[in-house]
Structure 1
Amino acid sequence: MSTTERIIQAADLTFINNSLRSLNRDIEAVSQQVNGVGTELADTRSELARLEQAFMQFVAADLRAKELALAETRQIKIRQELETTYGYYAEVRRQATGILQAADVNVVRVETIKSATEGLMLSAPRYWLAPALVALAAWLNDQQDLAKRALAEAVRRDDEKTSLFFALVSRRADRGSACRVWLDRYFGMQDPKSLDRQSVILVDALASGIFGGEVRLQCTRRVESWVEELSAEVGFVETQRHQWSDGLLTKLPENDNSQRYRHLARFSSTWAALNHSLNEATLHEVVRDHFVGIFDGALTPARNIEAAVDDLLDSLVKNFDDEELPLRREDRLNQLIIEKSGDRDAAQRKQALETTILDERVSFTQLLTNAAMNPQLSKATRATQRYATALSRTWIRDAHDDLTASFRARVPSDVALSIEGWTGSTRSGENEEELIGKLGAHLDAERDAALAKLKIGIKQWAAIAFGVLMIVFSISAGWFLALIGVASIGWFFAEKQKIAKAKVRVAEEAAKKKEQCEQALKACLAELVEWRREHARRDAIAVEVTNFIDSISPDQHILASHDNVRRVISAA
């Protein structure tokens, strides 16, 4: 070999050898990066899913916070508008029972009362109570002409409320004949299918024993005739079931149970239905406690007839008038949004169930439903709640049975589970071994697919073939080709070792993932078993509700003649 060839060979072999080592390191680094990218891609997908969920939760929380702030602002504006537009009504209302109480103790001159009521007449040009108070003052002052003119104006503005007002005033003054006349006038204007909301005051008076024996009998007969008239309507029973179902549903809780059943909430697409079913089952307990609270303890009558009637007069005059209804409805919606922490949809659903409570006109049976289920909105007393519940006992039981049946029909029988791409279903976790086996098979197949991708490819086989070829050619061409061949073969075995390590890593990660997924599945099944137990326990309370409703005597007691004696009246 000549000197020139030796120099070229030494120089070229050193450069090529270094280049091959550098190329091998680069390929190894790239291979590691590719494996790392694959792992990071899987992690990124998981993080993106969690980020998406967190983002949606943030958006929902932000919307609720904005709705809450807007509701609070709107409520302030609405109440300011109510005060500005109808605030002068409050002054008139404050005078109503004050005049009667002042007349009782005779500490205010009749001229003062007259002057005060006439001033109210000027400040409340459309309000029915202002001329009614003028008539009351004139009556106390024995000014018949003025009393008649003022009374005619009050009747013109609102005949029903004026008639009921003076029926109560007459009862307070123990003028039975006048009370009967005013009640006859009031009853004559009533349609049991379209009663004014103020009719609850009449029911209060009857249930509280305000009226004397003859007047009470008159009211009782009229109430019974209303029930008979309504019962004769086609579809009455169905209407009552629907009406009372809506009334009971106003008590439906809207709890988020995801913190107690975290794995089900995360891994089950059936969770929304499970959560709703649990809330529906919880309704039985709420309804039971509601009715038990109505009948728990004795009713305490007012100390005398004057105080009892004054309470009813307060209810009559303080309840808002029909012209205030639009603002009152909007105020109620904003109040519900605040109570629901900014969840406008939940507030609107709640208001939809309460809508009939604020209706200007309702049927007598709807009046009973409103009084029994929502006394705060309907302004009903506990005595009225008891009376309304007793009259409606059969309808309540039927509506509750209907709701119970519909709740049970909606309970999910099969619960879907989804864990890391695997899906399955169970009823009560009884097929745990089967699900674990299927989950394991799914994850094993996923692992095997990943391992199958980690194999010697065409590039590596080409490298070893090229290396062998170079070694064969080096027999006649010299050490240069032999060195290239050895380097190619060395790279092949390095790649093979790298793939073997990657397979070990994939197998270890797959085993860890399998263990975690199996634990998640077991946790889901354990929570489902607990959910079934809790649901069954809450659902069983439905029997207690039915038994309690059945235990209410068909002849519900009411206070009689404003004493501690109780009179039995017949229920529907």
Structure 2
Amino acid sequence: MRPTPSPLGIAPPADSQGLGLASVLSTAGVPGGRQAQLLDSLAVRLEEQIDLLSSRVPSKQSSAQVGRVRTELQQLREEFLEFARRAELTANVQRAEIRIAQFSEQIDREFGRYRETRRMAAAMAHGRLSPEAALDEDVMTGAPRYWLAAATVALSAWAADDRALRDRATEEAVSRSADRSSLYFALVLRRRGRQAAALRWLASYLRCLDLSALGHDFPVVLDAVYRGAFGVGGIELLHGAFGQWRETLRGDKEAQSRLIHAWQQECESVRALSLSTEFPNLSAVSPQWPALDGVLSSARAKRVVIDTYAVPRGSVPASSGRLDAVLDEVLERLVSEYTAEELPLLRALDVNRSVVEHDGDLNAAARLPVADHAGAPPQRLETILAAVALNPAALDVSSGVQQLALTTCLEWFEEARDRFEREYRTAVPAEVQVKLELTRPPQPAASTIPDWTGSFTSPQAELEHALSEHWDRHGHELMASSARRLKALLVLLAVLVVAILFVFGWAAGVIALAAASVVGTVTSVTVRRRCGSVRELLSRSKEKSIRQLRAAAAELTDWWTEFRAAESAAGGARPSVEPLTLPVHRPSPAERPATAAETWYAP
């Protein structure tokens, strides 16, 4: 059967068998991008032929055919775009699946030992696996850069009393990551009741910390130690560590600047927005009110900060079952964290899985947050100390650790407070002025009463006298101006009467004189009444401005009283800020550098 020709005389391909153009191109193996170019080219040619046909055959039938062809062409274009979109999504899914397989295979090949080591370490830490199960040096050599592999072998060798392997594995673990290995040993040994050995590893952990990159669990461990998780010896170690950190911070100017800035920000955060409701008259008439407002707010804020952090010295709470759960969580995170080498591959794997989950929609996959396998970013020591001192509840640490942090940062807290004091004290204006916007009388007065400015450094009686004279002087000028206008009006009327008399004679002059007399009399009475109203208004406005001046002066006296009270109260609280006294850290025999054999004790 012959194919039906199109209205343009173009027959479809014989092998298309009723398929759409997109299907034909796809079957022919034409790439998606090339398909779009072919379709656009064909559309242009069809449009040209349609226009040519329309110009040559201007009949109703040809017009209907041309419209139908245009509709079919638009439908064909939409179908092809949808096909291209589906093909693109399918290609995205296929590429993502290929990458998932590649990344998964790479992770298994390069870090498969890491995953097995983490599983074994977690099981050993929680007693679900016998320590002897990991007694294989291949576990350590199979993951040559992973600290947990060597730490697991060391723990197994300790349980099996294999001292040679234990010492080698311990030194290898410490060389790979001293702080993580020390914390891992301390937590596991504490869990197994080996308090003396756990205490030595705790000392090693505190000594080996990188103070520029402390983990999220650092304040949690400090709080647990302070609350007695490692006994009195652990608390003594903690006090010594804080003392050593204070000495370290004294040699780091940048760290001191960050601490001072944190304390200044805390002082700024508790400042009142404005005290204008407390001093309504002073805030309304004094140009120096913004400075006065900031100074008193700052003085009060300093007092609030001192009251907030001048806490009494507390006792060390006893250890509780909650500590075990907290440290178990720390241990769980420690043995399950990924290494820096794994993180890029894991992120790439999650991104491609998201593409597959969204059926190849890259935009939708990009909007979905990717799991953060790295956890919270590391922070500097001064940042954590400031957070513990200023907001211990956010880190879920006790007030005792807050006191230690406050004591460690005390000298920089005082430096921040002194800077804060200097800033607002230098902002106290040397002269407080008063500027009154005086009432403008209504018409007919054309002139106005100018604003009055005075200084509160002058005695109150002088200010009131100067303001009263200002009102009297300008009020007299205002009345004189009204009298001059009335006099000018009467002169104008007289001139007008004389002019009429000379031009029109006596009869018209008498009539003009009578009219001028009436107009002058009415105008004079009206002006005098208005002047009386203005005089009364001026008197009331004068009394009101004097009362406002007195109220502002009284509020300025109250302001100085409040400022001196805030200053004296804050100054008297200075000694109570320091809740504890920390000794300079001097390593005890338990903290001295020890070999692997000296650090471990018999299982």
Taking the aligned partners of 1:129 and 1:270, their CA distance within structure 2 comes to 68
Give the structure 2 partner of residue 404 of structure 1: 421
Of the three residues 386, 405, 412, the one matched with 1:388 is 405
Q: Is the 8 A contact 1:204 1:312 kept in 2?
A: no
Q: Which moved more, 1:485-494 or 1:155-164?
A: 155-164
TM superposition shift of 1:462: 1.7
Q: What SS does structure 1 have at the residue aligned with 2:486?
A: coil
TM superposition shift of 1:161: 6.5
Taking the aligned partners of 1:250 and 1:183, their CA distance within structure 2 comes to 38
Give the structure 1 partner of residue 441 of structure 2: none
Of the three residues 116, 121, 125, the one matched with 1:135 is 121
Give the structure 2 partner of residue 254 of structure 1: 272
Q: Which moved more, 1:372-381 or 1:509-518?
A: 372-381
Q: What SS does structure 1 have at the residue aligned with 2:573?
A: helix
Q: Is the 8 A contact 2:314 2:400 kept in 1?
A: no
Of the three residues 531, 543, 548, the one matched with 1:515 is 543
TM superposition shift of 1:432: 1.9
CA offsets 1:300-348 (integer angstroms, 9 cap, x no match): 434x4x43343455689899x999xxxxxxxxxxxxxxxxxxxxxxxxx
Taking the aligned partners of 2:332 and 2:469, their CA distance within structure 1 comes to 74
Matches within 5 A, 1:42-441: 135-139=121-125, 140-144=127-131, 145=133, 152=148, 164=183, 167-176=186-195, 179-180=198-199, 183=202, 186-187=205-206, 190-212=209-231, 218-233=237-252, 235=253, 239=257, 242-243=260-261, 245-246=263-264, 248-249=266-267, 251-292=269-310, 294-295=311-312, 298-302=315-319, 304=320, 306-311=321-326, 360-420=377-437, 422-427=451-456, 431-441=459-469
Q: Is the 8 A contact 2:211 2:380 kept in 1?
A: yes
Q: What SS does structure 2 have at the residue aligned with 1:424?
A: strand
Taking the aligned partners of 2:542 and 2:429, their CA distance within structure 1 comes to 28
CA offsets 1:331-373 (integer angstroms, 9 cap, x no match): xxxxxxxxxxxxxxxxxxxxxxxxxxx9944443443222111
Please, which runs of 5 or more residues in structure 2 have no aligned partner? 1-110, 141-145, 152-172, 341-374, 438-449, 584-603
Please, which runs of 5 or more residues in structure 1 have no aligned partner? 1-124, 324-357, 557-572
1:412 counterpart letter in structure 2 = P
Matches within 5 A, 1:491-506: 491-506=519-534
Q: Is the 8 A contact 2:271 2:298 kept in 1?
A: yes
Q: Is the 8 A contact 2:189 2:195 kept in 1?
A: yes
Taking the aligned partners of 2:387 and 2:472, their CA distance within structure 1 comes to 60
Taking the aligned partners of 1:130 and 1:502, their CA distance within structure 2 comes to 102
Q: Is the 8 A contact 2:249 2:256 kept in 1?
A: no
Give the structure 2 partner of residue 83 of structure 1: none
Taking the aligned partners of 1:275 and 1:129, their CA distance within structure 2 comes to 61
TM superposition shift of 1:383: 1.1
**1:461 lines up with 2:479 in the alignment:** no
Q: Is the 8 A contact 1:264 1:528 kept in 2?
A: yes
Report the aligned-residue RMSD.
Answer: 4.3
Q: Is the 8 A contact 1:195 1:361 kept in 2?
A: yes
Q: Is the 8 A contact 1:471 1:486 kept in 2?
A: no
TM superposition shift of 1:247: 5.7
Give the direction of change, closer, same or farther, for the CA distance of 1:197–1:423 in structure 2 (3 Å limit).
farther
Give the structure 2 partner of residue 563 of structure 1: none
TM superposition shift of 1:400: 2.3
2:493 counterpart letter in structure 1 = A
Taking the aligned partners of 1:317 and 1:544, their CA distance within structure 2 comes to 48
1:466 counterpart letter in structure 2 = L
TM superposition shift of 1:299: 5.0
Taking the aligned partners of 2:257 and 2:275, their CA distance within structure 1 comes to 33
Taking the aligned partners of 1:218 and 1:308, their CA distance within structure 2 comes to 18
1:171 counterpart letter in structure 2 = R
Taking the aligned partners of 1:283 and 1:227, their CA distance within structure 2 comes to 27
1:385 counterpart letter in structure 2 = Q
How many residues end up aligned between the 2 structures? 389
Taking the aligned partners of 2:332 and 2:459, their CA distance within structure 1 comes to 65
Taking the aligned partners of 2:561 and 2:119, their CA distance within structure 1 comes to 62
Q: Is the 8 A contact 2:224 2:327 kept in 1?
A: yes
**1:539 lines up with 2:567 in the alignment:** yes
CA offsets 1:128-185 (integer angstroms, 9 cap, x no match): 9998676333441234446979983899999967864663353243223663575466
Taking the aligned partners of 2:124 and 2:331, their CA distance within structure 1 comes to 21
Q: What SS does structure 2 have at the residue aligned with 1:394?
A: helix
CA offsets 1:379-412 (integer angstroms, 9 cap, x no match): 3321101111223333333332332233222223
Q: Which moved more, 1:273-282 or 1:174-183?
A: 174-183
1:142 counterpart letter in structure 2 = L
Taking the aligned partners of 1:359 and 1:459, their CA distance within structure 2 comes to 87
Taking the aligned partners of 2:557 and 2:196, their CA distance within structure 1 comes to 68
Taking the aligned partners of 1:153 and 1:268, their CA distance within structure 2 comes to 73
Give the direction of change, closer, same or farther, for the CA distance of 1:381–1:166 in structure 2 (3 Å limit).
farther
2:513 counterpart letter in structure 1 = G
Give the structure 2 partner of residue 96 of structure 1: none
TM-score by length of 2: 0.54
Q: Is the 8 A contact 2:260 2:413 kept in 1?
A: no
Q: What SS does structure 2 have at the residue aligned with 1:136?
A: helix
TM superposition shift of 1:542: 1.8
TM superposition shift of 1:274: 1.9
CA offsets 1:230-276 (integer angstroms, 9 cap, x no match): 3234x479637724643642653324322221112222232222222
Give the direction of change, closer, same or farther, for the CA distance of 1:442–1:188 in structure 2 (3 Å limit).
same
Taking the aligned partners of 2:452 and 2:134, their CA distance within structure 1 comes to 84
Give the structure 2 partner of residue 4 of structure 1: none
Taking the aligned partners of 1:129 and 1:509, their CA distance within structure 2 comes to 91
CA offsets 1:395-430 (integer angstroms, 9 cap, x no match): 333332332233222223322322215353545x76
Taking the aligned partners of 2:452 and 2:429, their CA distance within structure 1 comes to 17
Q: Which has the larger radius of gyration?
A: 2
Q: Is the 8 A contact 1:287 1:545 kept in 2?
A: no
Greater per-residue helix proportion: 1
TM superposition shift of 1:282: 1.0
1:274 counterpart letter in structure 2 = L
What is the identity percentage for the equivalent residue pairs of Structure 1 and Structure 2? 19
